[in-house]
């Protein structure tokens, strides 16, 4: 091995170590800051409880504390930010485990483990979600999949929790808030509707299936985020041939969690029973010709603008776990649209 090659290898190893160390320092500083803000919130709430007229006393307390802290430490302690710390504590103070671990940290015990793994900006957004179950879901998913604040906001704005909760019973909804999205069977990866607002296609705009596919490929990273966990892109317009006849599957993905192929066909307008029959043919082909012995059955999803649930129900076999039909929307749903969807379900 030449001297230059040895030096390059050493340099690469040192750079990797320094970058890992830098990232660890940033995470440690971030967690310490979040813990500190939690403690400040606790102190504010405790002091407020000593006031006779809590609303007025609390307002004056934050105003005076903000002025003193800004004089001592500079910017960063506005009344609004102190109110965020107060709300942060009130949102998370119900956990006895958290309080116990914070006590360990305050006593500088080496047995303490971190609880707050997200950035302060993430928590400022999360504490504005009133439903504790929904808030816990987005917190778990953000930490598990390293969502940026922008990704978190996008998933919230697209009502990810609500869309997943619609297809679950009370026990399933509780699991969402305790463990996030757990993928164990094909139905767990299905959303209805899928929100494709990132494509930039107006809701009433006239476009073809090929144009829709082209926009999805151009925004593939966003589409993978909307599909969910474990998806990798395999192919577009995948050609399959038998009896001298050619067919093309719009999009082919692989899900690493379920260990199976996922085929997607795009349809403009109303879903027809022939569309489901065609997808059944694609799935059968992949199961018989493409699937390996240690892989699970192929999943087929037909994305359409509109569908009849009865057409889907009577076209597909009972206990179907392979073929699914879901609507897609090219704009973010409004609160009114979500309420209507919930009522329909």
Domain boundaries for CATH 3.40.1350.10 within the chain:
186-344
User: Per-residue pLDDT averaged across 335-343, rounded?
Assistant: 67
Report whether 320 contacts 186 (CB < 8 A).
Answer: no
Judged against a pLDDT cut of 90, whether residue 27 lies above it is answered with: no
Greatest mean pLDDT range, 34-43, 47-56, 177-186, 254-263: 254-263
pLDDT confidence band for 203 (50 / 70 / 90) = low
Task: Give the full edge-to-edge strand order of the sheet including 231-242.
Answer: 194-195, 323-329, 299-306, 260-270, 245-255, 231-242
Q: Are 320 and 285 in contact (CB under 8 A)?
A: no
Q: How confident is the model at residue 17 (pLDDT cuts 50, 70, 90)?
A: confident
Confidence class of residue 2 from pLDDT cuts 50, 70 and 90?
low
Task: Answer yes or no: is pLDDT of 66 > 70.
Answer: yes
Which pLDDT does position 110 carry in this prediction? 46
The yes-or-no verdict on residue 111 having pLDDT over 50 is no
Q: Per CATH, which fold does 186-344 belong to?
A: Trna Endonuclease; Chain: A, domain 1 (3.40.1350)
Output the six-digit token pair for 330: 């090219």
Which pLDDT belongs to residue 26?
A: 72
Residue pointed to by tokens 């073929």 = 323
> Is pLDDT of 97 > 60?
no
Of residues 133, 139, 134, 100, the one with CA closest to residue 119 = 139
pLDDT in tens, 256-301: 999 999 999 999 889 999 999 999 999 999 999 999 999 999 999 9
Quick one: how many helices (H) and strands (E) in the chain?
14, 6
| pLDDT tens-digit series, residues 191-200 | 888 999 999 8
At residue 53, the pLDDT reads 56
Residues in Cβ contact with 26 at an 8 Å cutoff, skipping those fewer than 6 apart? none
pLDDT value at position 292?
Answer: 95
Percent of the chain with pLDDT over 90: 46
> How many other CB atoms are there within 10 angstroms of residue 278's CB atom?
17
Q: What pLDDT, on a 0 to 100 scale, did the predictor assign at position 245?
A: 87
Contact call for residues 203 and 337 (beta carbons, < 8 A): no
Q: What is the mean pLDDT of residues 119-140?
A: 93
- 52-61, 150-159, 197-206, 303-312: which has the minimum mean pLDDT? 52-61
Q: Which two tokens stand for residue 152?
A: 């978190």
Terminal Cα-to-Cα distance of the chain (whole angstroms)? 67
User: DSSP strand E in 148-244: where?
Assistant: 194-195, 231-242
Q: How would you classify residue 242: left for phi > 0, otherwise alpha for psi between -120 and 50, otherwise beta?
A: beta
Contact 215, 192 (CB under 8 A): no
């Amino acid at each position: 091995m030449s001297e230059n090659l040895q030096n390059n290898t050493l340099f690469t190893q040192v750079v990797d170590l320094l970058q890992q160390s830098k990232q660890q320092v940033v995470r440690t500083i971030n967690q310490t800051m979040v813990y500190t803000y939690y403690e400040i919130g606790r102190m504010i709430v405790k002091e407020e409880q000593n006031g006779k007229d809590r609303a007025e006393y609390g307002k004056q307390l934050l105003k005076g504390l903000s002025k003193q802290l800004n004089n001592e430490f500079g910017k960063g302690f506005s009344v609004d930010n102190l109110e965020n710390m107060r709300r942060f504590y009130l949102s998370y103070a119900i956990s006895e485990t958290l309080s116990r671990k914070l006590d360990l940290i305050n006593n500088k015990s080496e047995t303490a483990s971190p609880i707050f793994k997200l950035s302060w900006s993430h928590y400022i957004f999360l504490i504005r979600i009133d439903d504790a179950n929904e808030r816990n879901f987005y917190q778990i998913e953000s930490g598990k999949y390293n969502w940026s604040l922008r990704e978190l906001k996008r998933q919230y704005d697209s009502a990810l929790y609500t869309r997943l909760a619609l297809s679950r019973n009370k026990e399933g909804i509780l699991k969402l808030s305790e463990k996030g999205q757990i993928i164990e069977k094909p139905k767990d990866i299905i959303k209805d509707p899928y929100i494709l607002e990132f494509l930039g296609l107006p809701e009433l705009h006239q476009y073809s299936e090929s144009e829709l596919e082209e926009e999805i490929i151009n925004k593939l990273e966003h589409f993978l985020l909307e599909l969910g966990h474990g998806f990798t892109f395999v192919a577009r317009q995948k050609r399959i041939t038998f009896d001298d006849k050619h067919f093309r599957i719009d999009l082919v993905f692989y899900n690493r969690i379920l260990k199976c192929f996922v085929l997607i066909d795009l349809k403009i307008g109303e879903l027809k029973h022939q569309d489901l029959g065609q997808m059944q043919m694609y799935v059968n082909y992949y199961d018989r010709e493409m699937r390996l012995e240690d892989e699970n059955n192929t999943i087929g999803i037909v994305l359409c603008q509109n569908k009849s649930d009865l057409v889907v129900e009577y076209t597909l076999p009972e206990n179907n776990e392979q073929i699914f039909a879901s609507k897609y929307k090219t704009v973010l749903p409004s609160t009114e649209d979500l309420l209507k969807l919930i009522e329909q379900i």
